[in-house]
Chains A and B, each alone.
Chain A
Amino acid sequence: MYSLGDGAKNAKPRIFHIEGDPDHPVSRGSLCPKGAGLLDMIHSKNRLLYPEYRAPGSKEWVRISWDEATKRIARLLKDDRDKNFISHNEKGQLVNRWLTSGMLASSAASNETGVLDFKFARGLGMLGLDCQARLCHAPTVAALAPSFGRGAMTNHWVDIKNANVVIVMGGNPAEAHPVGFKWVIEAKIKNKAKVIVVDPRFNRTAAVADIFSPIRAGSDTAFLMGMVRYLLETDQIQHDYVRSYTNATMIVREDFAFHDGVFSGFDAATKSYDKSSWTYETGPDGNALRDMTMTHPRSVLQLLKQHVDRYTPEMVETITGVKKADFLQIAEIIGSCSAKTKTLTWLYALGWTHHTGGAQIIRGSAMIQLLLGNIGMAGGGVNALRGHSNIQGYTDLGLLSLRVPGYMNLPSDNQQTLQQYLDETTPKDVIPGQVNYWKNTPKFFISMLKNLYGKHATKENGFDFDLLPKWDRSYDMLAYFDLMYQGKVNGYIAQGFNPLAAMPDKNKTSLSLSKLKFLVIIDPLVTETSNFWRNEGRYNDVKTEDIQTEVFRLPSNCFAEENGAIVNSGRWLQWHFAGQEPPGDARHDPAILGGIMTELRRLYAEEGGACPEQLLHMTWDEDTYHDPSFPHPEEMAKEANGYATQDIYDDSGKLLYKEGQLLNSFADLRDDGSTQSFCWVFTGSWTEAGNQMANRDNTDTGLGNTPGWAYAWPANRRILYNRASMDIDGNSWDPHRQILHWNGEKWVGADVPDFPATIPPGKEAAPFIMLPEGVGRLFSAKGMNDGPFPEHYEPVESPIAKNPLHAKVTHNPTARIFQNDAERMGNRTEFPYVATTYSVTELFRHWTKHSHLNAMLQPEQFIEIGEKLAAAKGIGHGDTVKVTTKRGYITAKAVVTKRMRTLNVAGQEVDQIGIPCHWGFEGATRKGFLANTLSPGVGDANSQTPEFKAFLVNIEKTDEVAA
């Protein structure tokens, strides 16, 4: 960023040019089109400049002062909370929750704002808290955590260059992540890598791939299980790895079963499973039983063989439309990566998460990578590519309805005491000699409580455990908006979030928002959500005067106007510095949240009210921040890392930390209140040695690792599970990919060991230290809601009559669907075509359309349609078409293309239509519909992330003017 002024007091900085940072190890100075166009986003004419208010029924905004806005919002929040706060549930359990107001936190904001978001929402007892992760990568955590132990990208961008094969499915990194994609090109050019793309559309990634196959949207699980079958049948697996580092050897309980599309333990009434049979058989000593030959009929390997037996290449073709020959060509290349010296990297994004079986698709790739011995390897991994600049950070910080920071869960109603919570959530050892690092849960959790409640948190009061709101059910966005739709929500805060555009089924979202009493928008830009009450003709056909919602619109800063850290896909916490002040009267997010919170605390201190301790005990006072009404990012960054709350000594009596010192490592956290840390995975990011996130040494220590650049959680490890790059005796599987070696005392090398540094080679401890088994899971045990092995189920709106595998169980039996959403689902007679939504590279979601530079590149809504269907429908290039679902319609320009093909699925022709999702009735682009008018309100069975990627539509040419 280039900014006017030299820092002198009289020279007000103003950004006038933006270019990539040539020192950055990932970007190397390049930018994507959004990055290159940021100047126009920062200076967009749609930046909000002062606080505004829209009265019930009013057609306009009126300018108000910050003081008035802050006071009125605090009053509304307090009145609603005092009236509707639930201290005890019907069973008399203490729950301290507030359900009638909720909040969306912005994952485009920095970690430091995220800390405040969490304290703000939980300090008021809110459960209706989510961030964009709910709409994007929540299934990633749901799938990868039970597979490997952590729910994040296993490797990092630069590491992709080490791959021999890059397979892209359920993602389109050339389009969505061009800067990271350079490392795919690098693998191609320098490593002679083959790039394979399997996608409903021939997309920009396919344009530079070696092999492309089209696939029907929503059928990836079948493809992947077919691949597992192929690998097992042709015996192309990395045997030593599978035996030592996966649970293939473990024996599953006798009562585990799978018949006709359902696993054992299904309860049709609740649409859920009793998972007790989904686990290992244990011996008399309580340890899980193993058969190292993997031939026991109930060993995971044999059960897996049995499970995937149905997924023949013919069945794969029937379900997915991928031609058998194409499937086998790809399978052969994937199989070749079972060699110890070849790695394959798997890249995916929302093309996999946005399904009712999204998490299970991701599981499929995790299983393949375990079978190939590709996890922990340079150039391997399952690499979830993140979208929003800080979606990874917001996931780490637990800004999801039932989470707390550091991948721990908020306690439920039935967890009434701290001890009970810790007993139930801390995993027990199942195999002797394993690290089982989550056994430290009490240290992480108590340090978090100590951070949240400070001096109020004592051993005696369970560190104020009671003040955390307890949950009875999920309050994810789909669920919360359904409550809103039913009129059960009064207040809502949307910070850097545009739910009207981002949620599925825009018309339902609009009706839901209309039932709110008040809506608070905190945003740098004009969003459709903030103007949901305004009639925009066909594009937003609402009756303004009937909408009684009061709306406050508070202008905030954008990334370029704050100091703070954001976490990239590779888990790097990267510090950035402000280039200018927010424009006009806009304020920094911490000042906005701080202002409202300070006023609320004042009101509660003065007036009392419902459970005042919940926010008065929260560390948001003068002891915590130099100015509680505007905490500085550096203060939150340090508390996220954590401090010693008193002098700390080691076992030998040596002083480790003086009171108030920043901690170096989460290994130093304690469960007695002597340490505090908001987010344990971030410990080490800001130590007494300084801000590690701002480190800028880009020295390559080998294989493209740059540990001196920024700070990667956990413990600055760049390649997760890297102990698995070597056999038990410490020999690298591939000498050319040696990440670590044992120097006689500890593990050292190009990366920080993801393993206790001093456990020598040859010990039993296996590399997956976050799983109690120590090994990766082919069988996910009780980790998933819908089964320990992935199974193909049809999308809720499916183009075929029944599931070719089991006619009676067509859809995911555990997919939750609310009654009024069920009524808004269409069928294949009325809506014969499969639609899939996505982003194009020129725009980022609904934000960069405010940048003129980007608006020029993709000026208006279009859809992509194959030539065959277009011909049948009389649709030509650039014609305006009307796309309809049961939920509504949009108009768009038609891009008629060879890149969308008619597929043959289950004996019928299936046409797919591509619907990019960016435009709306605000922005520098042409006015139009919100594409999410079309998508259905149903989510992934494990994480409730909506099924944006596969639903049914109809399409017709129309004379209506273009979108």
Chain B
Amino acid sequence: MNSQNIIKRSATSEITPAPHVRDHQMEVAKLIDVSTCIGCKACQVACNEWNDLRGEVEENVGVYDNPRDLAPETWTLMRFTEHEEEETGKLEWLIRKDGCMHCEDPGCLKACPIPGAIVQYANGIVDFQSDLCVGCGYCVAGCPFDVPRISQKDNKAYKCTLCSDRVAVGQTPACAKTCPTGAISFGSKEEMKTLAATRISDLNERGYENAGLYDPEGVGGTHVMYVLQHADDPKRYAGLPKDPKISGVVEGWKDVLKPAAAVAGAVAVGAMAAHFISVGPNVTEEGEESPDDAA
């Protein structure tokens, strides 16, 4: 994808509008059908392989989730939750592929103080432009899904690119192509919604009354959507927020900190941002379990 596909840039005023001479590009989406995901992690491997990422060989800490968390070298991972229905005792092993949701209204982009370090393309993909990234960590704080990670190696933020390089040449993202069960589909957002509807009606027939699509409005919808068996209770899926929003606080920080960024440069901003990172993205709802607590 090239600059003419960019429709939004971080820290860029509305005065320079995005190019719009080209034909409108189709909005894309990835649909993850949690009800047919077997948690095999092939998508994780394909992501690492395609993007040349090699994380640490960590430890087993008593769960199947490995690596343990998203990281600069881990842009997607499976989160496993065991859920037992109280009345029936019916056990479910819910497996959710975590990673960037490619929000229509991306909190990371909004929070980023560096012009053009985060962009959104006309097809909806939110992409980090690493050459511009100063590693300040605002995107981390700005993301309602706790996705970006700053690398210790080069002090830059990393996350899923939705394989913008593959998509640009008409390929599906590596995870979608590799997924052996077809739990990951990729296409236009409209097609994905239609597909989701057929999956939801199948789940309804199988007794999942609350099956539904996760495409949260609070962030303007997402370009990565889930079919959930229990769309009424997304938190069950390793703490997926029920109603994610870009925190007003983020907007506030942004205004305060942006001039600082321009003046004091990346180092100072990075130090200040470290504070927000350690506090964490304060957009998860009260009492919500963090993904780390989920088995």
- Name A's B-contacting residues (CB within 8 A): 17-20, 27, 29-33, 35-37, 39-40, 174-175, 178-179, 181-182, 185-186, 188-189, 192, 202, 204-208, 210, 212, 841-842, 852-862, 876-879, 893-899, 924-926, 962
Contact = CB atoms under 8 A, between A and B. Distances in A.
A856 B42 contact: no
Contacts of B177: 19-20, 29-30
Given A30-B177, A192-B205, 10 more contacts: A19-B46, A30-B182, A175-B40, A178-B40, A181-B38, A856-B55, A859-B58, A893-B61, A895-B60, A924-B57
Given A30-B178, A877-B61, A36 B93 contact: no
Contacts of A854: 45
A175 B181 CA distance: 11
A39 to B, nearest CB: 6
Interface in B54-101: 54-64, 66-67, 82, 84, 91-95
A862 B60 contact: yes
Q: Please provide the 3 A-B residue pairs with the shortest distance between their CB atoms, ordered closest to farther.
A: A877-B62, A878-B62, A36-B45
A32 B93 CA distance: 20
B223 to A, nearest CB: 22
Contacts of A39: 49
Contacts of A189: 36, 199, 202
A31 B180 contact: yes
Nearest to A19: B177
A37 B39 contact: no
Interface in B160-190: 174, 177-183
Contacts of B55: 856
12 contacts: A17-B50, A31-B46, A33-B40, A33-B45, A182-B181, A208-B35, A208-B36, A852-B54, A857-B45, A861-B60, A896-B62, A898-B84
Contacts of A925: 57
Contacts of A899: 82, 91, 93
Which residue among B56, B91, B180 has the maximum number of chain A CB atoms within 10 Å of its CB? Answer: B180
Contacts of B39: 204, 207, 841
Interface in B176-231: 177-183, 199, 202, 205-206
Given A36-B178, A926-B57, A204 B40 contact: yes
Interface size class of B (residues with CB under 8 A): 35 or more
B128 to A, nearest CB: 22
Nearest to A38: B49
Given A179-B180, A202-B93, A895 B62 contact: yes
Nearest to B67: A856
Contacts of B261: none
B41 interface: yes
B18 interface: no
Contacts of B282: none
Nearest to A862: B60
B42 A33 contact: yes
Contacts of A33: 40-42, 44-45
Given A208-B35, A208-B36, A899-B93, A860 B60 contact: yes
A207 B95 contact: yes
A627 B283 CA distance: 70
B11 interface: no
Nearest to A852: B54
Nearest to A37: B45
Given A20-B177, A36-B45, A898 B40 contact: no
B64 to A, nearest CB: 7
Given A20-B177, A36-B45, A898-B84, A205 B62 contact: no
B295 interface: yes
B171 to A, nearest CB: 9
Contacts of A205: 38
Contacts of B64: 895
Given A32-B40, A208-B38, A893 B62 contact: yes
A223 to B, nearest CB: 20
B48 interface: yes
A206 B94 CA distance: 11
A212 B41 CA distance: 22
B13 to A, nearest CB: 41
Contacts of A841: 38-41
Which residue among B38, B39, B93 has the maximum number of chain A CB atoms within 10 Å of its CB? Answer: B38
B42 A32 contact: yes
A35 B54 contact: no
A899 B58 CA distance: 24
A853 B48 CA distance: 7
B49 A37 contact: yes
Contacts of B38: 174-175, 178, 181, 204-205, 207-208, 841
